[in-house]
Structures are given as C-alpha cells and as structure tokens.
C-alpha cells in the first residue's frame, strides 16, 4: 500500500490558522490561543508549519512567539488542514502527493482558496502532486498498515460531494493507493457538520489495534450507528487481521460552549513520535480516556489539550493538523 499510517514518523506538522469569523464567531481569539498552545507543544517533538492569511500574520506571529515554528502567509477560507492539505503517499521510495477536490463540504460557498492549498503546500515541499477528480477530505478517510482504507458512506456518497457511484470511487481509490480493501461505515457522529467524517469515530493505531468511539446512551443515534459500525468492522477485519483488537473509547458527556452542543470525540487526536495529544473536555470521561490511552501507548507521553473553542468551530486536534510523513 502507498499510504503511510499516521503513527509512522513525521517530517513535520501542518496547521491552518483560524480565520473564518462566521464559523467561530466570538470564540475565534480563544480558538487561536488553543491552537497556539497545541502548536507550541507539538514543536517540542516535530517541525510545525502554520499557514495563515496575510491579514492575520502579525497576530499569529505574536501569539505563537516560537522560533521553532515557521509561519507562511497564504490565502485561506477556513482552518481544517486535515481536509485541505495534500494526501501524502509513498511511490518507489519517494514521497508524493495527491490533490483531491475540496468543495466546502458541499454546503459552504467560500472554499476556492482552500481548494488550492494542497498544490501550494506540495510546491513548497517540492513534492510531485497529481490532481484527482474526486471530492475527498482528509478527515473522511483513515487507513491501517494492512492495506485497508476506511471511510463513511454519508460523506463520500453524499450528493453534495458530486462524486461518482460507489464502485467507481472504490476502483479509483484502490488504484491510487494500491489498497487491499475499502471498508465502508454507514455514517459518523450525529450533527457532524462534515456529514460524518470517520476521524471522529474510528482510528487504526498499529499492531492490529483499532479505536472506535462508543456511546453509553442507548437512546441516541450515536449508540445505534456506532454499534453497527463496530459489528461491520469486526466482521470485515477478522477475515484478514490476525489478533484483531478493537478498543472502545467513550464519547465525552454532552459538552456545551456558548449555548452550542459540541460534536466531540476523543478519537480526534494527534500523535507524534513521543506524544499523544488528546482533546480535553473537562468532563468525567477525561480521566477514563487518559488511562486507556496510557495503557495503549505506554512508551509515549499522553497530553490532554484544551480545545473546546477549536471544537466550537466544527473540528478538533486531528482536523486542524496534517502530518507530513518522514521516509
């Protein structure tokens, strides 16, 4: 498989500076402070590159105030780097990239700058890039070390993405990434503005281990959909993965900020060589999740990061980052 699992070593971490005031509203400054804290902590482990609009450059430089972090001025519409960065892959021992179409999740009118960012980044990194005629955000897919790619039907098959039929998507992605299989889950979390990105509900972590979000409230949509997803994953993966371990990670209790209920998940984390950065929601599940991650990654430091204001904008730590693999 050409895709490189996220737990492999990174060359650097890419982050987009929050700029969409319609989305963040009055919490945008707090979201920027949270991202600055997060970026500064990542920079202890790997190079960080922040992209921001020219109008935000001075403020970004002042808030970050870290000589280890490089800040690049470009044109942005939003801050979800996972969805607008190139998809990196290995080809004949070289790092290369694909630029998929980004259409603002099929619902937001301002996305043309973000749709150009993957080509800008690949040019900056001096990487070959190919444009792919398929609407796909980075948060809509995840992949393991066994040639399996995972996604949700509610995103890639959503009419607002204007994609071809399922079998054509499968053929294209299988060819592009040299996959063994594509495992489709029906949907993501209820209320997810992306229509159900998989990076809120499921994540491979290596050594035949996989994390899946779990709801303890049997009356909810999430309980039913995540139970179905778990059954599908067990059924599909058990056919090819020996010593399969699917570990359940509870969803956080209802978190409300500025009268908005967050669509929140601990699965939306970021890992470096030395550290696992997990969202912190200041709810009772925080401690339980910390202990689970500590048991799974006993050779790494576990850091819980305040990110409620980032989450207010619609995503979390995984959504605002993209790792550049190190070959």
CB 18 within 8 Å of CB 35:
yes
pLDDT tens, N- to C-terminus, the chain (327 residues): 999 999 999 999 999 999 999 999 999 999 999 999 999 999 999 999 999 999 999 999 999 999 999 999 999 999 999 999 999 999 999 999 999 999 999 999 999 999 999 999 999 999 999 999 999 999 999 999 999 999 999 999 999 999 999 999 999 999 999 999 999 999 999 999 999 999 999 999 999 999 999 999 999 999 999 999 999 999 999 999 999 999 999 999 988 998 999 999 999 999 999 999 999 999 999 999 999 999 999 999 999 999 999 999 999 999 999 999 999
Q: How far apart are CA 129 and CA 169, in angstroms?
A: 20
Residues 322, 85 contacting (CB under 8 angstroms) = yes
Give the E-state strand segments of 80-146 in sequence order.
Answer: 87-91, 94-101, 129-135, 141-143
Range 10-325 has CATH code 3.75.10.10 = yes
| Separation of alpha carbons 210 and 244, rounded Å | 8
Query: What predicted TM-score, i.e. pTM, was given to this entire model?
Result: 0.97
Q: Which two tokens mark 317?
A: 């730590």
Nearest to 251 by CA among 305, 201, 296: 201
- Alpha-carbon separation of residue 34 from 116, 265, 279, 301, 316 (angstroms): 26, 17, 11, 19, 11
Residue boundaries of the structural domains of the chain: 10-325
Alpha-carbon span 268 to 315, nearest angstrom: 8
Evaluate whether 197 touches 105 at the Cβ level (below 8 Å).
no
């Amino acid at each position: 498989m050409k895709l490189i699992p996220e737990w492999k070593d990174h060359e650097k971490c890419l982050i987009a500076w929050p700029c969409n005031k319609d989305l963040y509203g009055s919490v945008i400054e707090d979201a920027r402070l949270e991202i600055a804290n997060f970026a500064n902590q990542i920079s202890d482990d790997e190079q960080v590159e922040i992209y921001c609009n020219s109008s935000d450059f001075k403020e970004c430089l002042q808030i970050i105030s870290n000589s280890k972090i490089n800040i690049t001025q470009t044109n942005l519409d939003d801050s979800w780097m996972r969805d607008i960065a190139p998809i990196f892959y290995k080809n004949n021992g070289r790092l290369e990239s694909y630029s998929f179409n980004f259409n603002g999740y099929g619902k937001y009118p301002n996305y043309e700058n973000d749709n150009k960012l993957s080509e800008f980044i690949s040019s900056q990194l001096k990487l070959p890039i190919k444009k792919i005629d398929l609407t796909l955000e980075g948060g809509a897919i995840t992949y393991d070390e066994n040639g399996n790619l995972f996604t949700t039907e509610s995103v890639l098959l959503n009419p607002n993405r204007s994609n071809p039929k399922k079998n054509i998507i499968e053929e294209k992605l299988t060819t592009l990434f040299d996959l063994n299989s594509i495992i489709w889950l029906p949907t993501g979390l209820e209320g997810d503005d992306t229509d159900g990105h998989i990076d809120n509900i499921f994540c491979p972590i290596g050594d035949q281990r996989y994390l899946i979000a779990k709801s303890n409230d049997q009356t909810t949509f999430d309980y039913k959909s995540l139970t179905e997803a778990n059954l599908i994953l067990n059924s599909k993966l058990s056919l090819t993965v020996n010593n399969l371990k699917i570990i359940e990670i509870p969803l956080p209790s209802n978190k409300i900020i500025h009268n908005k209920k967050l669509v929140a998940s601990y699965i939306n984390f970021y890992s470096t060589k030395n550290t696992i950065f997990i969202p912190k929601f200041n709810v009772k599940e925080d401690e339980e999740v910390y202990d689970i991650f500590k048991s799974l990654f006993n050779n790494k430091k576990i850091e819980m990061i305040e990110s409620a204001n980032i989450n207010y904008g619609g995503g979390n730590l995984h959504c605002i980052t993209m790792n550049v693999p190190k070959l």
